[in-house]
Amino acid sequence: MIAVSSSASAVRRPAITIALCFLVAVVEGFDIQAIGIAAPQLAPQFGLSPGQMGWIFSISNIGLVIGASFGGWFADRVGRKPVFIAAVLIFGVFTLLTTVASTFALLFAVRFCAGLGFGAALPNMMAVASEISSPERRAITAAAMFAGMPLGGGSSALLTQLLPPGFDWRVLFIVGGIFPLMLAPALHFFMVETLKRGETVKSRVNAWHALFGEGRAPATLLLWLAFLPTLVILYLIL
């Protein structure tokens, strides 16, 4: 009985981890899209010019690039789980703080910090979900993670249709901030750690070989070149 229970738990925990990663992807897509939906109300309330709004739209993506660059690097040194949870908390907190920003400078700062969280969460979310999946399901899992973000973006637009006309734009950021803060404890208790401290050297060697070994370097570089504009278009739409 104990053996059966342990086996069932071993199957459930990876499934729960993948489901939680997918929910983080959905919430991240929701939060990234929220600023675009709130813009028609937000710009006149803050007295922002089109140029200033352009900076507000751009700064979270700049933070995302920086966060993604350092999020994976930091996770290689302290473990994916703590970095992933911290990233989710960061973008949750700063999404909520968007509701109390009262000036262009504060709005600029909180959106940048939220972007850092978005970026740090992204590589760890993808890595955890892929590493915990069985080899035959790894591609499907990765596709699901990427599908979660536009699904979240669409959900934010759907929410506006369910709210009464003239709703306060802050509602979007309250919803978008509360959900990641609710997911963080679930990640702490149920997420399976896939890369712990001390395993990083072997992991980096294996990753380097998987990407560039045995003649895979040209294909890897071409995929990167194709993937970059795809992500740019995705975030411009969101």
Residue 147 has pLDDT above 70, yes or no: yes
Q: Which residue has the higher pLDDT, 88 or 50?
A: 88
Quote the pLDDT of residue 26: 95
Quote the pLDDT of residue 7: 47
What average pLDDT does range 109-137 have in this prediction?
90
Residue 140 has pLDDT above 80, yes or no: yes
Say how many domains are in the chain.
Answer: 2
Q: Is 218 exposed, middle or buried (0-12, 13-18, 19+ CB in 10 A)?
A: exposed
The answer as to whether 206 is a domain residue is yes
Q: What is the rounded average pLDDT for all residues in the chain?
A: 83
Residue 223 has pLDDT above 90, yes or no: no
The answer as to whether 5 is a domain residue is no
The answer as to whether 184 is a domain residue is yes
Looking at residue 101, the DSSP 8-state letter turns out to be: -
In this structure, are 207 and 140 located in the same domain?
Answer: no
Closest residue by Cα to residue 81 from 167, 177, 196: 196
What are the tokens at 208?
A: 């380097």
Give the span between the Cα atoms of 238 and 30, in whole angstroms.
9
The answer as to whether 7 is a domain residue is no
Percentage of the residues of the chain whose pLDDT score is greater than 70? 82
Domain range for 185: 14-197
What average pLDDT does range 169-173 have in this prediction?
93
In this structure, are 205 and 184 located in the same domain?
Answer: no
In this structure, are 133 and 192 located in the same domain?
Answer: yes
Answer for the pair 110, 101: CB distance below 8 angstroms, yes or no: yes
In this structure, are 156 and 210 located in the same domain?
Answer: no
In this structure, are 71 and 160 located in the same domain?
Answer: yes
In this structure, are 109 and 62 located in the same domain?
Answer: yes
Q: What is the CATH number of the domain that holds 130?
A: 1.20.1250.20
The answer as to whether 84 is a domain residue is yes
- 2-6, 43-47, 61-65: the lowest-pLDDT one: 2-6
Going from the C-alpha of 80 to that of each of 126, 150, 200, 216, 233, the distances in angstroms are 11, 24, 11, 26, 27
Q: Which residue has the higher pLDDT, 50 or 92?
A: 92
Quote the pLDDT of residue 118: 94
What is the per-residue pLDDT across 77-119, written as a single tens digit (0 to 9) for each? 888 899 999 999 999 999 999 999 989 999 999 999 999 999 9
Quote the pLDDT of residue 69: 85
In this structure, are 76 and 135 located in the same domain?
Answer: yes
In this structure, are 72 and 177 located in the same domain?
Answer: yes
Quote the pLDDT of residue 143: 87
Residue 1 has pLDDT above 50, yes or no: no
Going from the C-alpha of 106 to that of each of 24, 41, 53, 76, 198, the distances in angstroms are 25, 17, 13, 32, 39
The answer as to whether 107 is a domain residue is yes
Q: Which residue has the higher pLDDT, 166 or 89?
A: 89
- 208-212, 214-218, 223-227: the lowest-pLDDT one: 208-212
In this structure, are 89 and 204 located in the same domain?
Answer: no
Counting Cα atoms < 13 Å in the Cβ hemisphere of 214 gives 5
- Residues in contact with 150: Cβ distance below 8 Å, sequence separation at least 6, in sequence order: 29, 234, 237, 238
In this structure, are 32 and 100 located in the same domain?
Answer: yes
Q: Where are the beta strands (DSSP E) in the chain?
A: none
The answer as to whether 78 is a domain residue is yes
In this structure, are 226 and 159 located in the same domain?
Answer: no
Amino acid letter, residue 5: S
What are the tokens at 34?
A: 């929220």
Quote the pLDDT of residue 175: 94
Helices 217-237 & 138-162 angle (0-180, nearest 10): 10
Q: What is the largest CA-CA distance in the chain?
A: 66
What average pLDDT does range 52-61 have in this prediction?
89
Residue 173 has pLDDT above 50, yes or no: yes
The answer as to whether 8 is a domain residue is no
Percentage of the residues of the chain whose pLDDT score is greater than 90? 37
What are the tokens at 93?
A: 């907190």
In this structure, are 71 and 162 located in the same domain?
Answer: yes
